[in-house]
Amino acid sequence: MSYEVHRQQLPLFEEDGRAAATDDEHGRDLHYLPTLPDEDPYAAGHRTCAGCGPAIQYRWVLKAAGNDTVVAGPTGCMYVANSTYLCTPYTVPWAHTPIASGGSFTSGMAAGYEAMIRKGRYPGPYPNILVMAGDGSASDIGLGGMSGALYRNHDALFVCYDNECYANTGIQVSPTTPYAGMTTFTPFGKAIPEGKKLPPKNLAKMMAEGHPHCYVATTTVGYPVDLMNKTRKGLNHQGAAFLHCYTPCQKGWVYQTSMTVELGRRVVESGLWPMWEYRPEDREYHYFHPPVQRPVTDYLAMQGRFGHMLPEHVATMQAGANRNWEAIGMDVPKSLRELEDPARHKRLHDEEYSMPLNRGVGA
Amino acid sequence: MTTVHVESGLPISPGPAIRTPDGERFLDGIAGTRIRQNGCASAAYAALYANVDVICAYPIRPYTAIMMNLAQFIADGILDAEYIAADGEHSQFSAAFGAGSCGARAYTGSSGVGVTYGYEMYSIISGARIPIQMAIADRTLDPPGDFGSEHTDALCTRDMGWLLGWAATPQEVFDKSLLGYAIGEDPRVLLPQMIAQDGYFVSHIAGEVEMPTIAQVEEFLPPYQLPFPLDPRRPVSHGPQIHPEQGPPLQLERARAMEDAIPVIRGKTDEFARIFGRRYPHFVESYLLEDAEIALVISGGHSVTCRAAVNRMRAQGIKVGMARLLWIRPFPSDDLREALRGVKAVGVVETNLGLGGASYGGILSLDVTTALYQMTGERPLVTSFMAGLGGETVPISEFDWMAGKLGQAVARGSVEKATHWVGFEE
């Protein structure tokens, strides 16, 4: 004999209301937000930086998840900035885990609730179980544990908030740091003018390809309804789900703090962050085709971490973006194709709306 | 009994975990019988009786057989538990930690380099006060690759805030596993437990093990009731960042939990004897120590040979005895002083490696020496013996040799050296 495990099904937010939203000159809806739940499990009281992308993501994810939720947070900036003894912003149960334990600890929580409900130790329903791990935790030191948890298909949502560096420790390179992204472990100099030489690890694709039974999606803080709906889809999916969310870090990337959400749009519109959903039912990738396609300089020049890039580096970046456009089934306009030629570029810090160069040492 | 949390009025846990009908039938069938089984099987049977909720496994010899047994119990429908085949020991202990933090009774284990691979988790789990249990069938650390028993793996973790008990027979493995949960989950303690047994010497050699009734186990081991689980009905934050000035009181609390475990171990050991009819010493087995002039201090399975050696030497008129440590954390300083009072020379049998330590030998003698230094009145001489490393047996002849060295020390009034490497010296 055992008790049945009842699972929650969270309704998705309407996206039809977009028509009523204000459009900018590119046809992008600017102010559309559906009616959101009053629940706000990520409350005030944290110490994140002004314009913190991960904090925006944390708030939307937990708003979407609601109060019947248990959260794990591996070591990272969102551990250190959020939880201070006797003062944490969580109104839902939250636990810190070691940086490598995001996936494994969360799989233990899921297993614990499965067993406790079956054996009559918890009245249920099965709570939303999720972890929000930084890119260092999810794509680097805790990758094995994260993959193990997805492979074992625990009913939980594994979120990576990706600020493309180890921000907590003072902006060090992580596997998701973009090519030419300056960090304190990949500074630029005479011998290495581009800073980071390697292209980033494609974490979300790795998770989808490697764990085809899982719901996997990418999103950014530029698309709050998308972020919340993907959170709910991941939680509703019976089994493991992985959500890879782009979350700008103003401290590490050096941009105006009001531009966090705009960066979340532009990274998609410049082809550097393909936004998609992988559904295990049909084993297909469903790509989002943004209404605007921009040159990468529109994105890069907003950030001090790229300010050192030379024309050939920008061209390399544009070539990468163009390959991304092709991979998600969009045409690459001639204007963008031409930008694969270094002769078409200036040094990035000569771009007219460039931010000051990041010559600092991170934190 | 349903526990109701005062603030929320909600039941935190409705009652004891239910068992499967097949599990109840199976356990009713074996109750009161003696099963010949090795230490690994014993540990698995104890976890079955404890009705663990989550099992976190990763293969490494020799403890693996514990997890193999448990997997079979689940496959046969005898045990209802989530079985996590983890991607490594770090993940394995993390998953057990996560399950325990939610209020599930979690069980894990390892051997040798597996124990050290997950080292980060030990302080974190004890600091979080999550009383999961870990079985260790000990094994030599690399290099070189060696399957053999050596106590170094478990002893490396001794200061991380886990209760550390050492079993010398399969029966004791079974009993100590139940004791571990009962002590660790006690609200006065709330500490994780390592229940260690010697690899192969205990883990893979069969002995007779008495099977209790479910009622006996449930009387001794009430349902796991973490006072602060990760439960949406009563939100808590686990493990937030602290400021330096908050460090000392938290560390003091953990240190006190370890001290507070001492009376709980005494109480639970007595209660165990009342319910199951097997009486163990609380901390130290004193074997022929009353009139002994020399004594060997030992832990684990080699004590079986040591006891035989003591018997033979006694027959030859040598006044030798043995003190066996049943728990290494918390270290039983009082009980050891009491057991060794009047002894003139003590030799610590080190089946472990503590490179470059104060004795330039093993680990155990450091604690033993510290405990004995605090002895009022005349203190015994203390030396230590490196023996049984890499899985080598410690034969009776070696115990005879050690006793000889202790006899010489008594005659001389001083020890020859802090550490003897048995088999490498005259």
Q: Is the pLDDT assigned to residue A27 strictly greater than 80?
A: no
- In angstroms, the separation between the Cα of residue A219 and the nearest Cα of chain B is 27
- In angstroms, the separation between the Cα of residue A64 and the nearest Cα of chain B is 15
Chain B residue numbers with beta carbons less than 8 Å from the beta carbon of A86 are 240
User: Which residues, 6 or more positions from B311, have their beta carbon under 8 angstroms from its beta carbon?
Assistant: none
- Residue A31's pLDDT band (cuts 50, 70, 90): low
Q: What is the pLDDT of residues B247-271, one digit of tens each?
A: 999 999 999 999 999 999 999 999 9
Q: Is the pLDDT assigned to residue B12 strictly greater than 70?
A: no
Q: Amino acid letter at A39?
A: E
User: Which residues, 6 or more positions from A206, have their beta carbon under 8 angstroms from its beta carbon?
Assistant: none
pLDDT at residue A22, rounded to an integer: 53
Q: Quick check: is A152 in a domain? A: yes
Q: Give the bridge partners for B321, in sequence order.
A: B295
Q: Is the pLDDT assigned to residue B132 strictly greater than 50?
A: yes
CB B178 within 8 A of CB B189: no
Q: Quick check: is A348 in a domain? A: no
Percent of chain B with pLDDT over 70: 96
What values do phi and psi take at A247, rounded to 5? -135, 100
pLDDT at residue A45, rounded to an integer: 78
Percent of chain A with pLDDT over 70: 92
Distances (CA, A) of A125 to A94, A117, A156, A238: 18, 8, 14, 14
Handedness of CA A289, A290, A291, A293 (dihedral sign): negative
Q: Do B21 and A1 touch (CB under 8 A)?
A: yes
Q: What is the pLDDT of residues A183-197, one digit of tens each?
A: 999 999 999 999 999
Please tell me the distance from the alpha carbon of residue B91 to that of residue B86, in angstroms, as a whole number.
6
CB A118 within 8 A of CB B82: no
Q: Quick check: is A298 in a domain? A: no
Q: Quick check: is A180 in a domain? A: yes
Q: Is the pLDDT assigned to residue A20 strictly greater than 70?
A: no
- Residue A23's pLDDT band (cuts 50, 70, 90): low
Closest CA to B305 of B218, B194, B157, B422: B422
CB B48 within 8 A of CB B81: no
Q: Is the pLDDT assigned to residue A28 strictly greater than 80?
A: no
Q: What is the pLDDT of residues B23-59, one digit of tens each?
A: 999 999 999 999 999 999 999 999 999 999 999 999 9
Q: Is the pLDDT assigned to residue A108 strictly greater than 50?
A: yes
- The two tokens of residue B347 are 């030799």
Q: Does B237 touch chain A if contact means CB atoms closer than 8 Å?
A: yes
- In angstroms, the separation between the Cα of residue A227 and the nearest Cα of chain B is 23
- Residue A355's pLDDT band (cuts 50, 70, 90): low
Right CATH for B284-421 from 3.30.70.260, 3.40.190.10, 3.40.50.920, 3.40.50.1100:
3.40.50.920
Handedness of CA A24, A29, A35, A40 (dihedral sign): negative
- The two tokens of residue A289 are 């085709």
Number of structural domains chain A divides into? 1
Percent of chain A with pLDDT over 90: 80
Q: Is the pLDDT assigned to residue A359 strictly greater than 50?
A: no
- The two tokens of residue A62 are 């937990």
Interface test with B, best of A105, A137, A168 (most B CBs within 10 A): A105
pLDDT at residue A84, rounded to an integer: 84
CB B95 within 8 A of CB B54: yes
- The two tokens of residue A56 are 């925006």
What values do phi and psi take at A119, rounded to 5? -95, 10
Q: Amino acid letter at A128?
A: N
- In angstroms, the separation between the Cα of residue A163 and the nearest Cα of chain B is 21
What values do phi and psi take at B285, rounded to 5? -85, 115
Structural domain of residue A164, as residue ranges? 46-292
Closest CA to B118 of B200, B164, B57: B57
Mean pLDDT of A225-235: 96
Mean pLDDT of A244-265: 93
pLDDT at residue A85, rounded to an integer: 84
Mean pLDDT over the full length of chain B: 95
Task: Decide: helix, strand or coil at residue B149.
Answer: coil
* pTM, 2 dp: 0.95
CB A194 within 8 A of CB A188: yes
Q: Do B240 and A96 touch (CB under 8 A)?
A: yes
Instruction: Specify the residue for token string 């809806």.
Output: A29
pLDDT at residue A86, rounded to an integer: 82
- Residue B295's pLDDT band (cuts 50, 70, 90): very high
Right CATH for B16-226+242-276 from 3.40.50.970, 3.40.50.720, 3.10.20.30, 3.40.50.300:
3.40.50.970
Task: Decide: helix, strand or coil at residue B399.
Answer: helix
CB hemisphere CA count around B305 (13 angstroms)? 19
- Residue A204's pLDDT band (cuts 50, 70, 90): very high
Q: Do B87 and A147 touch (CB under 8 A)?
A: yes
Domain residue limits, chain B: 16-226+242-276, 284-421
**For A249-263, A312-326, B13-27, which range has the lowest pLDDT when averaged over its residues?**
B13-27
Mean pLDDT of B259-285: 98
pLDDT at residue B315, rounded to an integer: 98
Please tell me the distance from the alpha carbon of residue A179 to that of residue A194, in angstroms, as a whole number.
8
- The two tokens of residue B152 are 């170094």
Please tell me the distance from the alpha carbon of residue A162 to that of residue A182, in angstroms, as a whole number.
16
pLDDT at residue A91, rounded to an integer: 95
Closest chain B residue to A149, measured at CA: B86
Q: Is the pLDDT assigned to residue B226 strictly greater than 80?
A: yes
Closest chain A residue to B81, measured at CA: A115
Mean pLDDT of A54-59: 97
Mean pLDDT over the full length of chain A: 92
Common-topology check for domains B16-226+242-276 and B284-421: yes
Helix orientation angle between B89-102 and A143-152, rounded to the nearest 10 degrees: 60
| Chain A with chain B: Cβ pairs closer than 8 A | 194
Chain B residue numbers with beta carbons less than 8 Å from the beta carbon of A119 are 17-18, 51, 53, 80
If one counts every other C-beta atom within 10 angstroms of the C-beta of residue A120, the result is 16
Q: Do A88 and B20 touch (CB under 8 A)?
A: no
Q: Quick check: is A159 in a domain? A: yes
Q: Does B223 touch chain A if contact means CB atoms closer than 8 Å?
A: yes
Q: Give the bridge partners for B237, in sequence order.
A: A94
- The two tokens of residue B253 are 């609390």
CATH number, position A257: 3.40.50.970
Q: Quick check: is A362 in a domain? A: no
pLDDT at residue B5, rounded to an integer: 40
- The two tokens of residue B420 are 């003897």
Chain A residue numbers with beta carbons less than 8 Å from the beta carbon of B21 are 1
What values do phi and psi take at A351, rounded to 5? -60, 145
Mean pLDDT of A89-116: 97
Q: Quick check: is A137 in a domain? A: yes
Q: Quick check: is A35 in a domain? A: no
Handedness of CA B145, B146, B149, B152 (dihedral sign): negative
Please tell me the distance from the alpha carbon of residue B293 to that of residue B185, in angstroms, as a whole number.
40
CB B385 within 8 A of CB B347: yes
Please tell me the distance from the alpha carbon of residue B396 to that of residue B310, in angstroms, as a whole number.
9
